[in-house]
């Protein structure tokens, strides 16, 4: 699943609402995990604010997929919560 909020609608609470809706509608799940670009400070701060922690740094995670000629890193982040 992929969640995102257009730039014009950021900082309005929509990302938090989307994330909470996803968490509230996943039955029998004890955690959510995701990968985030290691240089995406805004996304990292958002996820940390919502209870996610960096679990592992993934070197060269994106390969050449971003077309930048280098292989960017990512963080594996997770949020542990009680199952429904």
- pLDDT of amino acid 83: 45
What 3-state class would DSSP assign to 66? coil
The domain locations on the chain are: 30-84
- Which has the closest alpha carbon to 45: 11, 17, 69, 21? 11
At 10-30, the pLDDT tens digits run 899 999 998 888 888 877 778
Residue 66 has pLDDT above 60, yes or no: no
- pLDDT of amino acid 82: 59
Assign residue 79 a region: left if phi > 0, alpha if psi is -120 to 50, beta otherwise? beta
Residue keyed to tokens 């990302």: 15
Q: What is the pTM of this model?
A: 0.78
């Amino acid at each position: 699943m992929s969640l995102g909020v257009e730039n014009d609608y950021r900082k309005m609470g929509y990302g938090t609402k989307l994330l909470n809706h996803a968490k509230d509608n996943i039955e029998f799940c004890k955690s959510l995990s995701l990968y985030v670009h290691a240089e995406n400070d805004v996304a990292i701060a958002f996820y940390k604010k919502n209870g996610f922690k960096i679990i592992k740094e993934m070197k060269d995670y994106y390969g050449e997929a971003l077309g930048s000629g280098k292989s960017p890193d990512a963080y594996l982040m997770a949020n542990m919560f009680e199952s429904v």
